[in-house]
Structure formats: C-alpha cells, structure tokens
Amino acid sequence: MTQNDRDDTSSTIHGHGTGSVDTVLSVDEVTREAGALSQERPAVEKFAALADNAPLLTIEKLNAGYGKMQILFDVHLQVKKGQSLCLIGPNGAGKSTVLHSIYGFTNIMGGSIRVNDREITALGPNQKLKEAKIAYILQDNSVFPDMTVEENLWMGGYLMQDHAHARDAADRIFDKYPKLSERRHQPARVLSGGERRLLEISRALVMNPEILLVDEPSIGLEPRFINMVFEILDDLQHNEGKTIIMVEQNAKKGLEFSDVGYVMVSGEIAMADEGDRLLADPEVGRLFLGG
C-alpha cells in the first residue's frame, strides 16, 4: 500500500460507500466501503471491555511499518489470558503487520506493546519467544521438507540451551498428536496439507508459549483440514489455556472461532466487538462474509 492509497481511503472514512452490492466487490471497493463502516473508531474503553479489563497483552497507539513506510496507525489491541481474538479485513489492511509487530519483525515508530505489565515493544523475536512466551506461526509454508517430522519439531526448540529439553517437548507433542507420531521418521514433504499445518502449529508449541500468533490457519487447506486446524486451536485455547491472536481471510470461520473480532481497514482498527456480534453485523456480512 502506498501513502496515496491510504489518503484515498481515509478521505472516505466520514462518508458512506456507494458501491453496487450486486457484483462481487473488489479489494479496493471493500477497503473503501469498510473505511466508512464505523464513522468513529472504537474507544480505548471498548478494547479494554472486550478483554474483561484484564488484558494479558496490550497494544497501545501502535504506529509501525517496514523501513520508513508506515502501515499501522494508532492500533490498539487487548486480549485476556485464554481468550481468542481474530483480525479480519481486506487484503493489505495490515493484519499480518499487527502480528509481525507483536513478534518484533517491524519498525515500531510509536506506541507500546506490553505483556502483563512488562514492556516488550523493543524485544527481538528470540526474546519474545523465550522471555515473553509469544510464538508466531507463519503464514507461509515453513516446514523443512527434507528434514523428518521429528527434526522439524526439534527445530522449534532451537532456543533451548539443552537439546534434551527440545526432545522431551517433542515427545510430549507426539503423545498428543498421534497423526504426527506415526510419521515422525518420515521427511516432512510426505505430509498432507493438514498434517503440515499441524506440524507448523506443533513446532511453535515446543517452547510452551502462552500466546500464539496465528496467521491464516486455513489458507490453502481443503475444508476437512480447515475444520481439523480449528479443532486443534480450540483445544489449545480451551484445554491448555493458550491465548490466541489470529488473522483469518475466512472471516466467517475466524469470527465463529474467536471470542473477540477486530475489523482492520487501511492500517486502522475500524471495528472491535465480540466475534458473534461482528458475525451478525449486516455490513460486516456484506463486506467480509460474502452475503
């Protein structure tokens, strides 16, 4: 996105879109109309209330981007321990950039990110994982195809001083997921799409993180695998108390799954509400749920 695109969109924030609803909306149209979704941005109190005023992770007035290019503008986010939060919005809105910023991949130009009350804004990815217990599950296919399933899992423990700890953690994961266990000595390239996604998630679990950042868990998967991945995430949230922040292009799935949803448009949070309430919102439905 260029600065010009952003100016175009923000200039329509106070008006209403006039695009036709008969045709499939283009990304530009969705962005333009979504910019008009809520005339006012949610107040800080709204973000706090959605996290029951007890946030584990708090983002305040975050301005961030890549190099000199600013992508995020005064982004707020709050999530409670054991909650799930989903970011939806048009392509290029900055959803992945929010996750990148939490994990330490972006240039932070202002604002703060805290876990409990610890300021973690300036920590690099390795410290985020080791000290702040935040794990990032990549959007791109990131398994090492020529390494075995087991070796891929061990890689998740690369920050551990003692290799034996990584092996123990991998063994616990194999106990939990027999599907992976059956293939532990095979190269990762033989895995199905769903098994591969399971391996990507499991690899992030080796360090026993508290917060999982998950970018597009359903991308590129057949429907039956999509359900499997959401079941795995559901188990991690509800049985293991993990806190999940996800980005999901499949807005229906993402909002159905998540306690809280945010709509992002042009680098800003345009709406924030309970997942179910966003699902029921007619404008959200028209723009993001294909109906």
Ligand X SMILES: Nc1ncnc2c1ncn2[C@@H]1O[C@H](COP(=O)(O)OP(=O)(O)OP(=O)(O)O)[C@@H](O)[C@H]1O
Establish if 66 lies at the interface with ligand X (CB under 6 A): yes
Instruction: Find the part of the chain contacting Mg ion (CB under 5 A) among 35-43, 95-103, 175-183, 197-205.
Output: 95-103
275 burial via Cβ count (<10 Å: 0-12, 13-18, 19+):
buried
Cα–Cα dist 7/54, whole Å: 35
- Tokens 């360090």 -> residue: 207
Beta carbon of residue 270, minimum distance to ligand X (angstroms, whole number): 12
Joined together, the tokens standing for residue 237 give: 């949230």
Beta carbon of residue 124, minimum distance to ligand X (angstroms, whole number): 16
Establish if 96 lies at the interface with Mg ion (CB under 5 A): yes
> Of 50, 93, 120, 143, which one interacts with ligand X (CB under 6 A)?
93
Q: Choosing among ligand X, Mg ion, none, which partner's interface includes residue 93 (Cβ < 5 to 8 Å by kind)?
A: ligand X
Cα–Cα dist 46/52, whole Å: 10
The residue (of 95 and 242) whose beta carbon lies closer to ligand X is: 95
Could you give the C-alpha distances from 6 to 31, 34, 89, 109, 180, in angstroms and in order?
10, 13, 15, 17, 44
Q: Cβ of 207: how many Cβ atoms within 10 Å?
A: 19
Establish if 96 lies at the interface with ligand X (CB under 6 A): yes
Establish if 249 lies at the interface with ligand X (CB under 6 A): yes
Instruction: Find the part of the chain contacting ligand X (CB under 6 A) among 8-16, 30-38, 91-99, 234-242.
Output: 91-99
The residue (of 150 and 248) whose beta carbon lies closer to Mg ion is: 248
> Of 94, 104, 254, 261, which one interacts with ligand X (CB under 6 A)?
94
Cα–Cα dist 251/229, whole Å: 15
Residue nearest Mg ion, CB atom distance:
96
Cα–Cα dist 95/248, whole Å: 9
- Give the CA angle between residues 30, 34, 36 to the nearest 5°: 130
Q: Which residues bind ligand X (CB under 6 A)?
A: 1, 66, 71, 89, 91-97, 247, 249
